[in-house]
C-alpha cells in the first residue's frame, strides 16, 4: 500500500509542477482549539527546489486523468502517460504528515478533469473536508477552480480554501480557441467573476458578523502561459492590469512555456523556455502592484515588447529624463519609487532617515539604495554625485546587469566603443546629450 502512495505522489507531483503559484501569503490564522495549523500573511517558504522556485505548499493533482485535450498541457487526453488518482483520504493524511514535520505550509490542490468538472470538484471538496473537519487543519489551502464547475460547488470550495485560482491559461481568446478547444474565455472568466463577487459579499458579512465563515480569505490569483502563442508583452501586461482592476486578483503569475507536445501550432520541442521574457513580465507586474506604474507607461502600441537588456523601470526612466534628477531630500515617496536603484524598502528608509538629517550619497548606500544605478537619476542638496560619468560605456555597465551586458556585447560588439568616439571627453554640459544617445541605443526597437 505504501509503495502505491510513492508511485502516486511521483506521478501527481510531476503532473502538477508546471503550475506556478506556490505562495502561502495573504492571510493570518492560528490553530483552533484541538487543531493544527496556522498561516502568516507574509507567506513562508519551506524550501527551494533545484530550479530556484519556492516550495511552500504540497503541490499535487487530485488526478491526472483528464477529459480535456489542451495542446500545451502534459495531462491532455491524447498524451500517452501513466494515469492515477489520490483518494481524498490518502491526500489528507499525506498533507497532515508533511505539515507536522514542517515540510510544508499547506496544500495546493489542482486536478485534471475526471469525468466532468463537477465530479472532479466534489472529490477535491472531500479531501479538503477531511482536512478541515476531521483534522481541524487551519494551515494554508490553495484550491484550483476547474472551469465549467457548478457555482454552488465553487461556493463550497471557497469556504474550505484560503486562496482560489482559475487559470487564464492563454493571454487571448484566439489562442484559447486554437489550443484549448474545451475551454472558452467565458468558462474561465465566469468562475473568476463569481469568486470575486463572493469575496466581496463575504467582506460585507464579516463587517456585520465577525464570526461569519470566511470565503477564500487570501483572495484569488491566476496564471497564464508565456511564449506558447504570438501574444505580445503589451497585450499580456494590459490583460494583467485589467485583471487586477476588474477582478481584484491578488496575483497574476506567468509561466514560460515548456514545450511538452509536438504540434504545428506550438513552438518546436527544442525551443528554450523564454525565461528572460518571463522575468521582465514579473518585474513589470511588481511595478504595477507596488510602484504605482500603469501598464501603458511601460509599453505602448509602438513598443509592444520589453527591452531585453534593461529592466522596465530603468527603461521608463531613460525615456523620461525630464522627470530626473530627483532630489532625495525633498522628493515624495511616489517619485522616489520611480528612481532605478530605489525600491519600496529603501524609499521608506529615505523618508525615515531624512527626518533627522540631510542625506548625502554616502548615507544612501547604508539605506540600501543601489547607487550604481540610482546615481544617474538623483541629486542630494541640488548636486549630482561627484565625478559622475555620463559616458555610454560606464552607463551601460551601471544600468545593465552582468548577464544582459554580456548579451548586449554579443549582439552589438562595436556599439559602446563607436559611440565613445562620437564625443569629446564627457563633461557635465554634455551629460544631457550623452543620456540622449544612450537612451537611443538602448531603447531602439530590437
Partner 1 sequence: MPNRSNLIYRYDGSFEGLLCCVFESYDQHEIPLDIFSPASLQTTLLPEKDIRTETAKANRVLASIPQKISPAALDFIKRAFLTCHAQKELYILLFLRMGYRYGASVMNMLTDDVVNTLFTAVKHLDKESHLFKGFIRFSVFNNALVAEIEPKNVVLPFLVRHFRERYPEERFLIYDKTHRMGLIYQPYQATIIPIEELDLPETDENERSFRELWQLFYDTIEIKERHNPKCRMSLMPKRYWKNMTEFGSAEEKPSVSRHGNDAVKSLNFKIAAEEKLLD
Query: What is the binding site for partner 1 (CB under 8 A)?
Result: 2, 5-6, 9-10, 13-14, 17-18, 30-31, 33-38, 40, 42, 44-56, 58-59, 94, 97-98, 100-103, 105, 256, 258, 272-273, 275, 349, 352-353, 355-357, 359, 362-364, 366-367
> For residues 65 and 83, is the Cβ–Cβ distance under 8 A?
yes
522596465: which residue's cell? 312
Least distance in angstroms from the C-beta of 354 to partner 1: 9
Query: Which run of H or E residues covers position 163?
Result: strand 163-165
C-alpha 284: how far from chain center:
10
Least distance in angstroms from the C-beta of 282 to partner 1: 13
Counts of helices then strands in the chain (DSSP H, E): 18, 10
Identify which of residues 77 and 349 has a Cβ nearer to partner 1 in the complex: 349
C-alpha 365: how far from chain center:
28
Q: How many CB atoms lie within 10 A of CB 139?
A: 25
Identify which of residues 85 and 149 has a Cβ nearer to partner 1 in the complex: 85
Q: How many CB atoms lie within 10 A of CB 438?
A: 22
505550509: which residue's cell? 105
Identify which of residues 47 and 305 has a Cβ nearer to partner 1 in the complex: 47
Least distance in angstroms from the C-beta of 285 to partner 1: 18
Q: In a 3-state reduction of DSSP, which class is residue 94?
A: helix
Least distance in angstroms from the C-beta of 103 to partner 1: 5
Identify which of residues 29 and 303 has a Cβ nearer to partner 1 in the complex: 29
> For residues 266 and 236, is the Cβ–Cβ distance under 8 A?
no
Least distance in angstroms from the C-beta of 125 to partner 1: 23
Give ∠ CA 381-386-387 in degrees, rounded to 5. 155
Least distance in angstroms from the C-beta of 215 to partner 1: 23
Beta bridge partners of 94: none
Identify which of residues 212 and 275 has a Cβ nearer to partner 1 in the complex: 275
Identify which of residues 33 and 429 has a Cβ nearer to partner 1 in the complex: 33
The gap between the terminal CA atoms of the chain, to the nearest Å, is: 57
Least distance in angstroms from the C-beta of 273 to partner 1: 6
Q: How many CB atoms lie within 10 A of CB 409?
A: 14
Identify which of residues 156 and 349 has a Cβ nearer to partner 1 in the complex: 349
Q: How many CB atoms lie within 10 A of CB 319?
A: 15
Identify which of residues 83 and 349 has a Cβ nearer to partner 1 in the complex: 349
Identify which of residues 53 and 440 has a Cβ nearer to partner 1 in the complex: 53
548579451: which residue's cell? 407
Least distance in angstroms from the C-beta of 238 to partner 1: 27
Q: How many residues does the chain have?
A: 446
Least distance in angstroms from the C-beta of 237 to partner 1: 22
Contacts of 397 (CB under 8 A, 6+ apart): 405
Rounded Cα distance between 282 and 291, Å, is 13
Amino acid at each position: 500500500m505504501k509503495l502505491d502512495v510513492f508511485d502516486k505522489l511521483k506521478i501527481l507531483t510531476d503532473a502538477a509542477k508546471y503550475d506556478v503559484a506556490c505562495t502561502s501569503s495573504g492571510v493570518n490564522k492560528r490553530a483552533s482549539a484541538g487543531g493544527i495549523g496556522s498561516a502568516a500573511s507574509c507567506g513562508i517558504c519551506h524550501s527551494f527546489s533545484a530550479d530556484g522556485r519556492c516550495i511552500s505548499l504540497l503541490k499535487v493533482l487530485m488526478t491526472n486523468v483528464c477529459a480535456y485535450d489542451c495542446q500545451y498541457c502534459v495531462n491532455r487526453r491524447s498524451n500517452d502517460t501513466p494515469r492515477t488518482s489520490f483518494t481524498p483520504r490518502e491526500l489528507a493524511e499525506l498533507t497532515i504528515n508533511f505539515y507536522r514535520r514542517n515540510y510544508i505550509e499547506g496544500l495546493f490542490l489542482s486536478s485534471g478533469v475526471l469525468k466532468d468538472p463537477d465530479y472532479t470538484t466534489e472529490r477535491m471538496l472531500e479531501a479538503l473536508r477531511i482536512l478541515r473537519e476531521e483534522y481541524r487543519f487551519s494551515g494554508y489551502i490553495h484550491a484550483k477552480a476547474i472551469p465549467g464547475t457548478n457555482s454552488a460547488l465553487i461556493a463550497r470550495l471557497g469556504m474550505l480554501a484560503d486562496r482560489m485560482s482559475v487559470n487564464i491559461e492563454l493571454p487571448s481568446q484566439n489562442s484559447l480557441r486554437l489550443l484549448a478547444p474545451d475551454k472558452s474565455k467565458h468558462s474561465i472568466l465566469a468562475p473568476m467573476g463569481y469568486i470575486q463577487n463572493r469575496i466581496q459579499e463575504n467582506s460585507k458579512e464579516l463587517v456585520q458578523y465577525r464570526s461569519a465563515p470566511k470565503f477564500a480569505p487570501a483572495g484569488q490569483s491566476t496564471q497564464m502561459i508565456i511564449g506558447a502563442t504570438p501574444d505580445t508583452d503589451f497585450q499580456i501586461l494590459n490583460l494583467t492590469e485589467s485583471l487586477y482592476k476588474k477582478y481584484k486578483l491578488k496575483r497574476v503569475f506567468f509561466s514560460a512555456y515548456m514545450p511538452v507536445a509536438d504540434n504545428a501550432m506550438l513552438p518546436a520541442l527544442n525551443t528554450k523556455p523564454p525565461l528572460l521574457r518571463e522575468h521582465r513580465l514579473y518585474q513589470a507586474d511588481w511595478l504595477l502592484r507596488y510602484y504605482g506604474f500603469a501598464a501603458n507607461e511601460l509599453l505602448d502600441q509602438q513598443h509592444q515588447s520589453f527591452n531585453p537588456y534593461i529592466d522596465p523601470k530603468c527603461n521608463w526612466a531613460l525615456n523620461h529624463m525630464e522627470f530626473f534628477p530627483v532630489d532625495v531630500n525633498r522628493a515624495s515617496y511616489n517619485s522616489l519609487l520611480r528612481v532605478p536603484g530605489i525600491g519600496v524598502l529603501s524609499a521608506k528608509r529615505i523618508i525615515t532617515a531624512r527626518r533627522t538629517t540631510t542625506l548625502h550619497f554616502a548615507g544612501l548606500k547604508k539605506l540600501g539604495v543601489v547607487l550604481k544605478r540610482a546615481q544617474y537619476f538623483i541629486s542630494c542638496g541640488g548636486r549630482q554625485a561627484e565625478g559622475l560619468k555620463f559616458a555610454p560605456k560606464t552607463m551601460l555597465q551601471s544600468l545593465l546587469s552582468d548577464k544582459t551586458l554580456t548579451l548586449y556585447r554579443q549582439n552589438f560588439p562595436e556599439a559602446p566603443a563607436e559611440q565613445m568616439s562620437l564625443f569629446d571627453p564627457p563633461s557635465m554640459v554634455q551629460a544631457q546629450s550623452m543620456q540622449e544617445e544612450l537612451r537611443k541605443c538602448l531603447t531602439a526597437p530590437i
